[in-house]
């Protein structure tokens, strides 16, 4: 009897990585009015806003890792486009170890 092979994705967790124009950041302060202060691997502290389509769907806490898109016309501001869950952080460290270590070294 010929049994088809079933491949499971459990061993290979797929997580979203930053694309072109995006970067990883860590939330260091909640400012209210759908804004947060984040620290980036380049050492800059930016104010990031949660766009309207994510409001009331994306809840952030201090210490969360997020993907941001810096604004072209104001590089000290950005938009939050993705939040990593706590169980995704170890998998994220496999792919972006240097960036995560830089964020941890900055002491936030």
Torsion of CA 3, 5, 9, 10, to 10 degrees: 60
Tell me the CATH number of domain 23-105, given options 1.10.10.970, 2.40.50.140, 1.10.10.10, 3.40.640.10.
2.40.50.140
SS3 84: coil
Every domain of the chain and the residues it spans: 23-105
The strand pairing partners of 30, in sequence order, are: 36
pLDDT computed for residue 12 by the predictor: 55
Q: What is the pTM of this model?
A: 0.81
pLDDT computed for residue 103 by the predictor: 86
Q: What is the mean pLDDT of residues 67-84?
A: 94
**Kind and range of the H or E run holding 94:** helix 89-95
User: CB within 8 A of 10, min separation 6: which ones?
Assistant: none
């Amino acid at each position: 009897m010929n049994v088809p092979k079933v491949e499971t994705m459990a061993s290979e967790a797929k997580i979203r990585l930053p694309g072109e124009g995006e970067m990883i950041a860590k939330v260091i302060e909640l400012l209210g009015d759908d804004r947060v202060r984040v620290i980036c691997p380049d050492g800059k502290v930016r104010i990031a806003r949660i766009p309207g389509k994510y409001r009331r769907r994306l809840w952030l806490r201090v210490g969360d890792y997020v993907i941001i898109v810096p604004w072209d016309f104001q590089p000290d501001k950005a938009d939050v486009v993705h939040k990593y869950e706590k169980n995704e952080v170890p998998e994220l460290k496999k792919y972006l170890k240097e960036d995560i270590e830089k964020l941890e070294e900055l002491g936030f």
